[in-house]
């Protein structure tokens, strides 16, 4: 007799899924019944890792030859979503129902692109995901790039973001990161080559993750994570590993809303002379004044202007 239950998606490969009933870790296969379409959505993956789904199965532990059937997706508490290109009308959900997102970056090899990082942070703000910036490979840069590290910490610390300095190679900072992962579902994301999979491996050496190398010709990482997948950490908690991201287009954010998701701009915008204020040309703009006096970084403001221009261009 078939019974309907709920479970969490932990891996998605094409039309096949792995599910478990968190916090238990007993994986079983599942497939979709027909096509699940989310109302008003144009996402390429209506079922994402981290989703809670309703499924139907003939037994308590479905097998490969007789998998469970996913019937529907439960309402999400949050998610992280992106477009690969601004002209694209389709979007991809990176992960759903996460407690926090660790955005992994490096100062060099590959060099962190601040506008790219700011797009991920803004998306987390929009969709109610708590972001933490993880500056990896700190063992390579601490002595040679002290001023760059201080500048990076100032830009994002003054904006209100936590910045963790870690090294997957030496283990520096991984104890704190492991502690933050305990009891939570955590997303790990970043561009290819930042050492994301190596960092996850440092948190739990028993995990079987592929680790790639940097292409010296292009100073970019090669994709090593092929699928979105959740893992259970031996120390506690669950992490979602993602393929390296090279493009991060914003989804469903109107140009006039962008400033609301820059925390440092939101804090001072109530003092602008005009409301609403685009923070571009208006006299008496508190945000522009904060940029001029250095309390809002020029780099973050520049990212804002870029998003604003793109938002207007592709409406």
Token representation of residue 155: 């830009």
13 or 34: which carries more pLDDT confidence?
13
User: Number of structural domains, the chain?
Assistant: 3
Q: Do 238 and 266 touch, CB atoms closer than 8 A?
A: no
Percent of the chain exceeding pLDDT 90 equals: 67
Claim to verify: residue 185 and residue 83 sit in the same structural domain: yes
Chain-centroid distance of CA 119 in Å reads 10
The DSSP letter of residue 63 is: B
Q: Give CA–CA dist 188/199, Å, rounded.
A: 9
- Per the confidence metrics, is the pTM higher than 0.85? yes
Confidence of residue 144 (pLDDT cuts 50, 70, 90): confident
Instruction: Bin 97: left if φ > 0, else alpha if -120 < ψ < 50, else beta.
Output: left
The domain boundary, picked from 188, 212, 241, lies at 241
**Same domain? 149 vs 279:** no
Domain-embedded: residue 246: no
| Tokens standing for residue 261 | 């998701």
pLDDT band at 219 (very low <50, low <70, confident <90, very high): very low
Residue 175 located in a structural domain: yes
């Amino acid at each position: 007799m078939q019974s309907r239950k709920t479970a969490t998606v932990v891996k998605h490969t094409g039309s096949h899924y792995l599910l478990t009933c968190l916090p238990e870790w007993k994986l079983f296969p599942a497939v979709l019944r027909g096509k699940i379409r989310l109302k008003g959505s144009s996402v390429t993956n209506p079922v994402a890792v981290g989703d809670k789904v309703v499924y139907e199965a003939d037994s308590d532990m479905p097998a490969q030859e007789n998998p469970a059937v996913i019937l529907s997706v439960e309402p999400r508490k949050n998610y992280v979503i992106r477009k690969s290109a601004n002209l694209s009308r389709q979007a991809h959900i990176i992960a759903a129902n996460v407690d926090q997102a660790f955005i992994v970056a490096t100062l060099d090899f590959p060099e962190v692109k601040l506008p790219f990082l700011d797009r991920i942070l803004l998306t987390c703000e929009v969709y109610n995901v708590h972001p933490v910036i993880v500056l990896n490979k700190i063992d390579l840069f601490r002595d040679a790039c002290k001023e760059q590290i201080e500048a990076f910490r100032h830009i994002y610390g003054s904006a209100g973001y936590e910045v963790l300095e870690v090294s997957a190679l030496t283990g520096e900072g991984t104890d704190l990161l492991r502690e933050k992962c305990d009891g939570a579902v955590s997303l790990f994301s970043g561009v290819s080559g930042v050492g994301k999979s190596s960092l996850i491996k440092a948190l739990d050496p028993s995990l079987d993750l592929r680790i790639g190398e940097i292409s010296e010709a292009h100073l970019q990482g090669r994709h090593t994570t092929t699928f979105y997948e959740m893992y259970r950490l031996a120390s506690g908690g669950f992490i979602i590993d993602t393929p390296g991201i090279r493009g991060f287009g914003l989804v469903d954010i109107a140009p006039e809303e962008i400033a609301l998701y820059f925390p440092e701009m939101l804090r001072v915008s109530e003092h602008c002379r005009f409301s609403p204020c685009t923070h571009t040309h208006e006299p008496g703009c508190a945000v522009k004044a904060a940029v001029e006096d250095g309390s809002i970084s020029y780099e973050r403001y520049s990212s804002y202007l870029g998003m604003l221009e793109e938002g207007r261009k592709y409406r």
